[in-house]
Structure 1
């Protein structure tokens, strides 16, 4: 995963199956959210939409999505069309680059919309997508958790996956339904990598002659900005009534805030702004909040002499006043989960149901120090001179890693450290550049530290993904060393004990075709996480997207279309962010 996708401080309850239908497996809504009735759109104006990122200097970045290092995902989102768009407001998928998708037994079929073309006028075909998916098999793309092969269908617009077994339709849809999942592999460019190792395509930096199929094409880039031009071949080009998009490079979040507040910028995909900054924005600037399904948490090294002890992890969870952490880090954009498990805030009640009261909350709004002390004493620890020590006199202590430059995370980490030190667990903050931060986690060179506890995006709406993700944590190559084998835990209802193999059980959902089947497994594995704490979930972020009505017509603040992330990228495609001409 690229750094730009992870920099959430600068990286998502559903309907019956999360896809906008009734749980049957015959595909999505068929709504392409566009104007394809033959009517012409508004007059095209010589207007430039200006946005910005702090992803990196454009001349050092590229537009090959499969090469995540130095890929500019913000620019790529305008240049390449997505398969579908998940609307967090309606909790349904809307068709975009696809016209339809369907699941039938052990096949998953994608139908590319007839009018999806590359900027050179050539149609986007099944050959392009088969090339893309075969390359992504080399890099362990999400769909390959379930698929065995992919082939062209009966015509040039049909792609067919053969599945390893009958598969839960939700999992298949979410596997290609993230806002970062794009159609990009123009076959004449990517064909040469099919017979090479994964490293070859991952090192390909697509900078010259980029072939777009999205609403904009690459025109040029400099050290200061990307310049994109309206793509006349785009199927919804009539909805885009301005000629140019510039994405400026800015060094930090403060510069982005100043640009939005001062009228230099027309939109920002994601920009954290504390209350004082948000409240100082001009009246024409609109803030759009969507669930991130991502947020600040604490990850443990489960092979550590102290933090590998479940009692120690539970004690830390009891000590932390998570509501105070959220209050300090930004209460407007932070939610605290009621239950400490790997299910997003808005989804917990739906999936845990009447059993939710049986799960441990660890006191989200209080510091339960007496309970924490009892847990540590039961594990053989004692307190000496205000510090908790084990039987050999070694204190519970850690360098607490946190990424430098993520301002709200820095504040959260300061609060965590204060609370733990006051209790007698010695914590010293270790702020690292993002590369070193990830590197130490990947190598298992840590005791505990800050890390996101949900993988983020639409995919995290279905508990299968975050529950599995916390155990495997592929973002750090499993560097937290969490044991996934059989465990014996207290029963959920308090009547004795239960035995669970959490990773094996969560994998069972793969072949379950209904929510009713999956719910019992989700509750058991959620209970496992609640008791063993692979992570401590502290806060979940609400994304802050920004659009300005200074030069552009914008939707009403309660419009459902704002539920698609990112609104600044989606609205121009569907004619909801148009140049006003004033």
Structure 2
């Protein structure tokens, strides 16, 4: 396993490092973790570090560690946090002051972008590299050395979480022990140790479950006969992830036909997500979100009072409504295929990723559904390298529609900016990703899909949302963005996100199916979710 978080081939796990603060979905508030408290005053943010937090090598977590991490954010990752700060000062071992780049950004946005980050640079490992980064102002040779560094041994796998890496057993499973001290969450952890193994073969994972070789297994979608073949002591638990990425079909809005709002709306009516989600390892049952795809928490919090006026693409008469949208736009059916007024058939390719089973299965489901309602689509599977060149690149766009992931820029936090920065993309690759336009013609007023169209500059609205002075001002912006998404359909969700886990109930108490754990942390891997469930008391020994 590789524990360098800056190496692209790392297999480090998120629970090695704690964020500055935990976000509590129930209270909608940040709770202290690495930072014991924080204040935002005008153009600065002050962080005070927890007095009793240490790295597992015994070093106290201090301002120097934060200085190294911020230096890495500046020169190595160009991380999100650097979009919000210009400089920082280590005032003492436990106090850091951040100079904010824009004092007009409201406090919640600052918190969402800074407090959820993981300081992952223990000075015992990275002090010299940080000094050289500063001396060379991010010299390419230093950055390359950091990115290529291999961290594989026990002594250099330094963590500030509740776990310590102790090595590998005879089956090449990574072994972790509960730390003796130095972390305030240790009182919640009742399991003294565990092993973790990365197995890419689906068949091997299924055999391990059947053979009672493992206690927990994540992300294994099974058919009903396969589920019935498992031992009775294995319990399936579905973990809904309201703040997560979702599989979707995105449309090339520069295309002659798919650039038409009516075509995208009709497709949304015809696609049945309950079917596309079937047998997907990360898909959740349920219905789509019609105003804020990717985050039900945000939708309920911000736009629930206006949702009744939005177009419901899961309505019982959705097929008839899809037909009506196309007819109103001048399409007619000839030999079972929709034809535009200028003679073009609703045909083309939907590109999918051959490397990702969920993508290919969901895409085939979408193709079948659309074709059963008068489209003439076919599926084209290409490998991930070709996919990113052809679809997910500034030079891309050679497609009618494509499977893609969609969700939130900072998916662990329920704020609308996290969704709309991704969906409409006021900067960066998300704009290329969805081929998003700057402006959409949207029927207005909100709630009237047949109203006169108004040009809505979505990227300007996203920019305004970043600097909204209060929640009331933000709500007015969010309402317009949500209505724009609902009426213009830049993408259709195919795989509402969720995670499935299999647990051994012989030796462990686990969450009931009716009371699932919600893993809100954007960084959590399969192991990270399980270890967080242990840390928060959702898994305990019998």
TM-score scaled by structure 2? 0.81
Specify the alignment match of 2:3 in structure 1: 63
Q: Alpha carbons of 1:447 and 1:88: their partners in 2 closer, same or farther (altered >3 Å)?
A: same
Specify the alignment match of 1:463 in structure 2: 416
Q: For residues 139-191 of structure 1, give each alpha carbon's deviation from its aligned partner in whole angstroms, at most 9, with x where no partner exists.
A: 34222333222322x3212222222123223222322455xx42211235141
Specify the alignment match of 1:423 in structure 2: 373
Q: Does 1:159 align with 2:96?
A: yes
Indicate the SS of the match to 1:228.
Answer: strand
Following superposition, the deviation at residue 432 of structure 1 comes to 3.9
Structure 2 CA distance for aligned equivalents of residues 362 and 558 of structure 1 = 27
Gaps of 5+ in 2: 522-527
Following superposition, the deviation at residue 489 of structure 1 comes to 3.9
Q: For residues 491-513 of structure 1, give each alpha carbon's deviation from its aligned partner in whole angstroms, at most 9, with x where no partner exists.
A: 21436444422111122222334
Indicate the SS of the match to 1:478.
Answer: helix
Following superposition, the deviation at residue 420 of structure 1 comes to 0.9
Specify the alignment match of 1:99 in structure 2: 36
Q: For residues 522-569 of structure 1, give each alpha carbon's deviation from its aligned partner in whole angstroms, at most 9, with x where no partner exists.
A: 000111111222212345223324443434455677779766655412
Structure 2 CA distance for aligned equivalents of residues 255 and 241 of structure 1 = 29
Residue pair 1:151, 1:159 contacting (<8 A) in 2 also: yes
Of residues 459-468 and 389-398 in structure 1, the stretch that sits farther from structure 2 once superposed is 389-398
Indicate the SS of the match to 1:311.
Answer: helix
Q: Does 1:255 align with 2:204?
A: yes
Specify the alignment match of 1:31 in structure 2: none
Following superposition, the deviation at residue 521 of structure 1 comes to 0.7
Q: How does 1:207-226 map to 2 (within 5 A)?
A: 207-208=152-153, 209-220=156-167, 224-226=172-174
Q: Does 1:184 align with 2:120?
A: yes
Residue pair 1:344, 1:540 contacting (<8 A) in 2 also: no
Structure 1 CA distance for aligned equivalents of residues 504 and 485 of structure 2 = 42
Q: Does 1:483 align with 2:437?
A: yes
Residue pair 1:242, 1:579 contacting (<8 A) in 2 also: yes
Specify the alignment match of 2:472 in structure 1: 516
Q: Alpha carbons of 1:546 and 1:456: their partners in 2 closer, same or farther (altered >3 Å)?
A: farther
Specify the alignment match of 1:569 in structure 2: 531
Specify the alignment match of 2:53 in structure 1: 116
Following superposition, the deviation at residue 112 of structure 1 comes to 1.8
Gaps of 5+ in 1: 1-57
Following superposition, the deviation at residue 335 of structure 1 comes to 2.3
Following superposition, the deviation at residue 482 of structure 1 comes to 1.1
Specify the alignment match of 2:524 in structure 1: none
Q: Does 1:78 align with 2:40?
A: no
Indicate the SS of the match to 2:265.
Answer: helix
Q: Alpha carbons of 1:183 and 1:400: their partners in 2 closer, same or farther (altered >3 Å)?
A: same
Q: Alpha carbons of 1:243 and 1:331: their partners in 2 closer, same or farther (altered >3 Å)?
A: closer
Following superposition, the deviation at residue 578 of structure 1 comes to 5.2
Q: Alpha carbons of 1:217 and 1:563: their partners in 2 closer, same or farther (altered >3 Å)?
A: closer
Q: For residues 315-344 of structure 1, give each alpha carbon's deviation from its aligned partner in whole angstroms, at most 9, with x where no partner exists.
A: 211222334434675999322125254362
Q: Does 1:531 align with 2:483?
A: no
Q: Does 1:297 align with 2:248?
A: yes
Specify the alignment match of 1:227 in structure 2: 175
Q: Does 1:454 align with 2:422?
A: no
Q: For residues 430-452 of structure 1, give each alpha carbon's deviation from its aligned partner in whole angstroms, at most 9, with x where no partner exists.
A: 33444444343223343212223
Structure 1 CA distance for aligned equivalents of residues 23 and 225 of structure 2 = 31
Q: How does 1:4-83 map to 2 (within 5 A)?
A: 58=1, 62-67=2-7, 69-72=8-11, 75-83=12-20
Residue pair 1:111, 1:157 contacting (<8 A) in 2 also: yes
Specify the alignment match of 1:133 in structure 2: 70
Indicate the SS of the match to 2:403.
Answer: strand
Residue pair 1:310, 1:532 contacting (<8 A) in 2 also: yes
Specify the alignment match of 1:359 in structure 2: 310
Structure 2 CA distance for aligned equivalents of residues 91 and 257 of structure 1 = 38
Q: Alpha carbons of 1:332 and 1:237: their partners in 2 closer, same or farther (altered >3 Å)?
A: closer
Indicate the SS of the match to 1:307.
Answer: coil
Q: For residues 53-82 of structure 1, give each alpha carbon's deviation from its aligned partner in whole angstroms, at most 9, with x where no partner exists.
A: xxxxx4xxx223344x3222xx42232223
Q: Alpha carbons of 1:493 and 1:365: their partners in 2 closer, same or farther (altered >3 Å)?
A: closer
When the two chains are superposed, the root-mean-square deviation of aligned CA atoms in Å is: 3.6
Indicate the SS of the match to 1:263.
Answer: coil
Q: For residues 256-289 of structure 1, give each alpha carbon's deviation from its aligned partner in whole angstroms, at most 9, with x where no partner exists.
A: 3443454322234554455665665634646252
Q: Does 1:312 align with 2:263?
A: yes
Structure 1 CA distance for aligned equivalents of residues 225 and 118 of structure 2 = 36
Following superposition, the deviation at residue 90 of structure 1 comes to 4.9
Structure 2 CA distance for aligned equivalents of residues 257 and 88 of structure 1 = 33
TM-score scaled by structure 1? 0.76
Of residues 342-351 and 464-473 in structure 1, the stretch that sits farther from structure 2 once superposed is 342-351
